[in-house]
Amino acid sequence: MSKTSEAVVQAARNLVQGLSVLAFGEPVHTVYNPLEYAWEAHRQYLDRFATGPKKVLFLGMNPGPWGMAQSGVPFGEIQAVREFLKIDARIGKPPSEHPKRPILGLDCKRSEVSGKRMWGLFQERFGTPKEFFAEHFVANYCPLVFMDSGARNLTPDKLPAQQTAVMFQRCDEHLATLIGILKPKYLVGVGQFAEHCLLRVSKSGGFAQKSTSGAEPVKILRILHPSPASPAANRGWSAAVEKTLVEQGIWGEKTTKRS
């Protein structure tokens, strides 16, 4: 384990501890924290890929029910986790499991479209995890999964403010720590919510004024969220995101690597 990944692992442990004492009421019925029951897989992800400073940090909102909730990996669509990232770890069970959203771990047969699109693009462009993670890292702002009584997914931005104030504070602290450790030059929000989190944390932490490496200011931008609930994402998500990243100077026009 590198010193960088060791620091990122410790930051994740601190986040787990800070969130474990929180309680949520209606409309929340069930809460999953994959950083607890899927910690082995999550730690494997951090140990392998958070090994040094990064040029780009991609930030999502929170785990999807068929992605990170099952695998412990951000945007962790099962096939991508097993075949591209080569992560293989024991996945446990949350203390309270909703019967309509069982945790099957890496044996889950459902595919999460958002994760399939995200990791599919990275694999197509970079070919191998080593090439992608040399300069990039992918994280989620909040590790918790929220469901109502019918197992409908509830995103953090839709929860009552009085229930999320402390949670957002602790997630902000973790994000600031992660930025400080990885020292990215580009902070990329996957969707509007994540972009707003990056803007808020970067402003309060001073990252927006200067880069964490002391050179140029950190640049914050947003890419289209890959959710199938977005009509725009269903009309060529990969091409749209690649275009954004090339236009922003993050990716080059002629450096594409095909697997």
In a domain, 159, yes or no: yes
In a domain, 137, yes or no: yes
Q: Confidence class of residue 33 from pLDDT cuts 50, 70 and 90?
A: very high
In a domain, 232, yes or no: yes
In a domain, 109, yes or no: yes
In a domain, 252, yes or no: no
The distance of Cα 140 from the centroid of its chain, to the nearest Å, equals 3
Q: Confidence class of residue 254 from pLDDT cuts 50, 70 and 90?
A: low
Kindly report the CATH number assigned to the domain that includes residue 201: 3.40.470.10
Question: CA 239, CA 214: separation in Å to the nearest integer?
Answer: 33
Q: Confidence class of residue 253 from pLDDT cuts 50, 70 and 90?
A: confident
Tally of domains within the chain: 1
Model confidence at 213: pLDDT above 90: no
Report the SS3 class of residue 87. Answer: coil
Tokens at 168, concatenated: 């957002």
Q: Which domain holds residue 239?
A: 3-247
pTM: 0.93
Q: What is the pLDDT of residue 237?
A: 97
pLDDT digits (tens, 9 = 90+) for 227-245: 998 999 999 999 999 999 9
CA atoms within 13 A on the CB side of 68: 29
Closest by CA to 153, choosing from 71, 65, 61, 231, is 65
pLDDT digits (tens, 9 = 90+) for 89-126: 999 999 999 999 999 999 999 999 999 999 999 999 99
In a domain, 256, yes or no: no
Q: What is the pLDDT of residue 34?
A: 97
Q: Which amino acid is at 81?
A: V
Q: How much of the chain exceeds pLDDT 90, in percent?
A: 90
Closest by CA to 183, choosing from 165, 200, 155, 205, is 205
In a domain, 166, yes or no: yes
| DSSP labels, 215-255 | SSPPEEEEE----TT-TTTTTTHHHHHHHHHHHTTSS-TT-
Contacting residues for 49 by C-beta, under 8 A, at least 6 apart: 5, 85, 129, 133, 137
In a domain, 206, yes or no: yes
Residues forming a β-bridge with 30: 147
Burial 204-239 (b: 16+ CB within 10 A, else e): ebebbeebbeeeeebbbebbbbbbeeeeebeeebbe
Say what angle helices 161-182 and 3-20 make with each other, to 10 degrees. Answer: 170
